[in-house]
Structure 1
Amino acid sequence: MPTRPYLFYALTNSVCSKCLVKVEAKIIFQDESVYLVKHCPTHGREEVLIADDIPYYKQCQDFIKPGEMPLKFNTPIKYGCPYDCGLCPDHEQHSCLTLIEVTDRCNLSCPICYADSGVQDTFPGSHQPRRHRSLGQIEMMLDAVVANEGEPQVIQLSGGEPTIHPEFFEIMDLAKSKPIQHLMINTNGVRIAKDRKFCDRLSQYMPGIEVYLQFDSFSETALLELRGADLRDVRENAIANLNEFNISTTLVVTLKKGLNDQEIGKIIDYALQQKCVRGVTFQPIQAAGRLEGFEAKRDRYTLTEVRRSILEQSPYFKPEDIIPVPCHPDCLAMAYALKLNGKVIPLTGLIDPSKLVEIAPNSVIYEQEEDFKSKLFELFSTSHSPVSSATSLKQLLCCLPMVSVPEGMTYENVFRVMIVQFLDPYNFDVRSVKRSCIHIVHPDGRIIPFDTFNMYYRDGSVSVESVGSVGR
């Protein structure tokens, strides 16, 4: 009997990338890669690469552990995932990080933008205006997260470009008045680069804040393709101001295969030289929003490909150092390290992976090295300093234990590398999206996974009810 040219691994549900109807899908191993194979009655067969590293993909399944629920759910189960978002009781994970978009407006019009933000007054192709949200609406959205989480671990102010909101510091005051453990500002850095007084005032909110700075490339060509502008001077000036005021910063790199993926190691090296930078987050493009010049088959970049590039381009990390994050291992990977006397010391590879999954909240594992025997509870925080009220990274991402480090260590000695891959109509997997822990607040107060928000809920252009009824 003939045999199939692949190994069947699992059955799941996905969606057709063209009509977004839910379809049955299978995960297969073929040619040392992992594919999602699905069939839409209308649009036919579709095969999508979801990983180019079978052992790592299988390792991700070993990192899964029971999810942590929010304090309340917001919507009932009616049509089934992904048509009931809000969060519904069928979702497996609370909000580790929640985005609040304070404005639709931006001071750039990037060719790649999941939110379709821009400098124009209205969204293209419609008369819907781009607006700054009011303080009242923003407070309602903050309160929705607090109601779900009690003390939200991380809230990220986003947009559009949040720093151009005319009441930006009133928003900061409002957020700081809530029981939020850590606050991030997702920014393109234009105002930070041009307005030193703005940076000075922003620094007054430390500890417990962090700038999530767009930092895609050192190349004019790549920046023009991704951002529509040569932002090299903007990035340099923004980092100079953030260094001056020592505002904790994460560099966020939107990756497009064949465009800026060869700069991964260079960006890590640059980040390690900056006083203010605590790490780098690499995000492959999500097929959502404005996607000028993006072709899914050509430009898609998987988490395992990013991981491989980090290992090939950076001398600091070995395969055991870049591990899945148990709250959502399909889509999140990370490496943690210490910067000590000019050296980079990876930490995650020192921890037994089985212990990462087994430990309960607030458990402590101590490294065997005697040098790591005092105070890493604070050091593994996402806060600006060890005395901040921010949560530990273990609590933030439901995964890492707290380990101890030498006296005198501060958050400035932490360096983290993360890979964040969002699901989209191509790689969508219901089994995976149920574990999503990066969520966004809908203007009506629902808490929605970032992945499904950009597919169904952002602008209301797709009727969830109609697609859901057909998909069933």
Structure 2
Amino acid sequence: MITIGKTKSVCPECMKVLPAKKCIGEDGIYLVKECDIHGKFQTLIWEGNAADYLAWGRENLSAESPVNPKRKEKACPNNCGLCEEHERKGCCMVVEITKRCNMHCPVCFASAGEDEENADLPISEIEKQYDFLMAHGGPFNIQLSGGEPTMRDDLPEIIQMGRAKGFTFFQLNTNGIRLAEEEGYAKKLKKAGLNTVFLQFDGVTDEVYQILRGRPMLELKKKAIRNCSEAELGIALVPVIAPGVNDMQAGDILNFALEHMPLVRGVHFQPISYFGRCSQKRPQDPITIPRMLRLIEEQTDGLMKVEDFAGGGAENPYCSFHASYLRKGERELKLLEKKSGKGCCCTTSDDSRQYVESQWSYSTKTYEEEEMTQTNALDEFLLRIHNETFAVSGMIFQDAWNLDLDRLKRCYICEVDSEYGMVPFCAYNLTDSKGKYLYRK
């Protein structure tokens, strides 16, 4: 195998930090590493040739130091928080307010619902986490997560408290059950200051939910979307894509989302990562960025094309893909180019934070004709344009097989932990082959 790059990774069996190489193989680019105890591991990280792989990783030499960084004590990915060697100060912070869940999904990165003793994070501790974040580079975008965060009846108070602390964007990561079943709940959260619902949405048939979530859920998802739309909450559909389960439904999910604009602001694909509780066996050829983009193009009949997409600018480009469109008709989309070309315009954590806050939120301000001024007319025109934009993105999370510590150093999505501080998402949820976490308790 021809080596085209070097990094560090971990052994999936013992989590020992190992040197790793990026090598050209039969089907694309592989991450290759060898543990002196557990042997050699190689996993496909890119389907395609080396030229395409290297071109995707365009240079972004800018780096940011975390605010008040933690002193490095151990080799990455251990004892993070963020340490002084990290290259991003953070954009989105995942605050897990409960371990409780009203489901027990066969696929769950947090292994939610396993142990519900002392499952709710005390609201006093949430306040401390908010204060910690503001002292370490905030305000950040806050993702309220779990477990299932809607299990807490004080969720509106948690949002209001965060607003009072100075955070301006709140996203709810949810399965949608309570939003669907409780009349007026979505409006209550909107009033409290919630911006966006990141709705678990794995497909358009109940067979998919039966496999990935353990029960049929399609009608419930549709009802949750209706209720959030009535509350004028922005909605992002978030499918976990598993090979052979729902990878054939990427186009159907996108079409469903387009039909439910403007409140549905886009789709954020998450090809399955093999950490936490995962009933799916890790294949030799997991879903890569090129394969996900081909699925999108093929299944939308070219409405969205592979060449429309680029890697993230603030995070490591091999972590994500993104394109934004302007809807011009029922089946017509115009690719929105950024100032630097088709790629992402975000080159810093703050750029990304502001983009996410804008794109995933729905704007509602309107003007009566009699109060319209030239300035107001322009504002309303821009709001209409905003509400006709549609984002398609995806995040390729890392597990113990494909972990690349160079990628991890640029991570700007962090889990907030009262013991460690701000830990990159893929490090916090990393598990060995037996499901033992590196950080999560």
Global fold match (TM > 0.5): yes
SS at 1:280 equivalent: strand
- The equivalent residue for 2:134 is 146
User: CA separation in 2, counterparts of 1:90 and 1:350?
Assistant: 30
Aligned pair in 2 of structure 1 residues 351, 345: CA closer, same or farther (>3 Å)?
farther
CA contact (8 A) 2:11 2:35 kept: yes
Q: Does 1:290 align with 2:277?
A: yes
- The equivalent residue for 1:96 is 91
- The equivalent residue for 2:304 is 317
TM-superposition CA deviations, 1:60-108 (whole Å, max 9, x none): 32143312233221x2112221113110001111211110000000010
TM-superposition CA deviations, 1:251-279 (whole Å, max 9, x none): 00001011101100110011011131000
CA contact (8 A) 1:23 1:38 kept: yes
Q: Does 1:348 align with 2:337?
A: yes
- The equivalent residue for 1:455 is 430
- The equivalent residue for 2:375 is none
- The equivalent residue for 1:45 is 40
User: CA separation in 2, counterparts of 1:173 and 1:360?
Assistant: 24
SS at 1:204 equivalent: helix
CA contact (8 A) 1:386 1:410 kept: no
Question: 1:406: how far off?
Answer: 5.3
TM-superposition CA deviations, 1:114-157 (whole Å, max 9, x none): 10112x6x26xxxxx251111101111122222112321x1100
User: CA separation in 1, counterparts of 2:18 and 2:349?
Assistant: 36
CA contact (8 A) 1:379 1:411 kept: no
Amino acid across the alignment from 1:52: E
Aligned pair in 2 of structure 1 residues 320, 214: CA closer, same or farther (>3 Å)?
same
User: CA separation in 1, counterparts of 2:334 and 2:133?
Assistant: 36
- The equivalent residue for 2:395 is 420
Q: Percent identity?
A: 29
- The equivalent residue for 1:57 is 53
TM-superposition CA deviations, 1:273-325 (whole Å, max 9, x none): 11310000000112111112x21125732222212211221232223311111
Aligned pair in 2 of structure 1 residues 203, 358: CA closer, same or farther (>3 Å)?
closer
CA contact (8 A) 2:28 2:46 kept: yes
Unaligned segments of structure 2, at least 5 residues: 366-378
Amino acid across the alignment from 1:313: Q
User: CA separation in 1, counterparts of 2:347 and 2:119?
Assistant: 46
- The equivalent residue for 2:156 is 169
Aligned pair in 2 of structure 1 residues 386, 23: CA closer, same or farther (>3 Å)?
farther
User: CA separation in 2, counterparts of 1:306 and 1:110?
Assistant: 23
SS at 1:323 equivalent: coil
Aligned pair in 2 of structure 1 residues 463, 221: CA closer, same or farther (>3 Å)?
closer
The alignment of Structure 1 onto Structure 2 pairs a total of residues equal to: 417
Match of 1:190 among 177, 180, 183: 177
User: CA separation in 2, counterparts of 1:354 and 1:162?
Assistant: 34
Question: 1:430: how far off?
Answer: 1.1
Unaligned segments of structure 1, at least 5 residues: 1-5, 124-128, 363-375, 388-403, 465-472
Match of 2:293 among 282, 302, 307: 307
Q: Does 1:244 align with 2:230?
A: yes
User: CA separation in 1, counterparts of 2:65 and 2:103?
Assistant: 37
Instruction: Output the TM-score relative to the length of structure 2.
Output: 0.87
User: Which moved further from structure 2: 309-318 or 12-21?
Assistant: 309-318
User: CA separation in 2, counterparts of 1:254 and 1:354?
Assistant: 24
User: CA separation in 2, counterparts of 1:354 and 1:212?
Assistant: 23
Question: 1:59: how far off?
Answer: 2.0
SS at 1:431 equivalent: helix
Aligned pair in 2 of structure 1 residues 180, 360: CA closer, same or farther (>3 Å)?
closer
Aligned pair in 2 of structure 1 residues 287, 249: CA closer, same or farther (>3 Å)?
same
Instruction: Output the TM-score relative to the length of structure 1.
Output: 0.82
Amino acid across the alignment from 1:150: G
Amino acid across the alignment from 2:94: L
Q: Does 1:19 align with 2:7?
A: no
User: CA separation in 2, counterparts of 1:98 and 1:45?
Assistant: 35
User: CA separation in 2, counterparts of 1:361 and 1:421?
Assistant: 21
Taking the TM superposition and a 5 Å limit, the aligned residue runs for 1:197-236 are: 197-205=184-192, 209-236=195-222
Aligned pair in 2 of structure 1 residues 21, 179: CA closer, same or farther (>3 Å)?
same
Taking the TM superposition and a 5 Å limit, the aligned residue runs for 1:100-179 are: 100-118=95-113, 122=115, 129=117, 131-152=119-140, 154-179=141-166
User: CA separation in 2, counterparts of 1:356 and 1:240?
Assistant: 32
CA contact (8 A) 1:82 1:452 kept: yes
Aligned pair in 2 of structure 1 residues 17, 355: CA closer, same or farther (>3 Å)?
closer
User: CA separation in 1, counterparts of 2:157 and 2:63?
Assistant: 35
CA contact (8 A) 1:65 1:326 kept: no
- The equivalent residue for 1:326 is 313
User: CA separation in 2, counterparts of 1:316 and 1:278?
Assistant: 17
User: CA separation in 1, counterparts of 2:346 and 2:196?
Assistant: 28
- The equivalent residue for 2:362 is 384
Question: 1:450: how far off?
Answer: 0.5
Amino acid across the alignment from 1:61: G
User: CA separation in 2, counterparts of 1:186 and 1:386?
Assistant: 22
User: CA separation in 2, counterparts of 1:205 and 1:341?
Assistant: 34
Amino acid across the alignment from 1:422: F
User: CA separation in 2, counterparts of 1:224 and 1:360?
Assistant: 37
User: CA separation in 2, counterparts of 1:53 and 1:251?
Assistant: 28
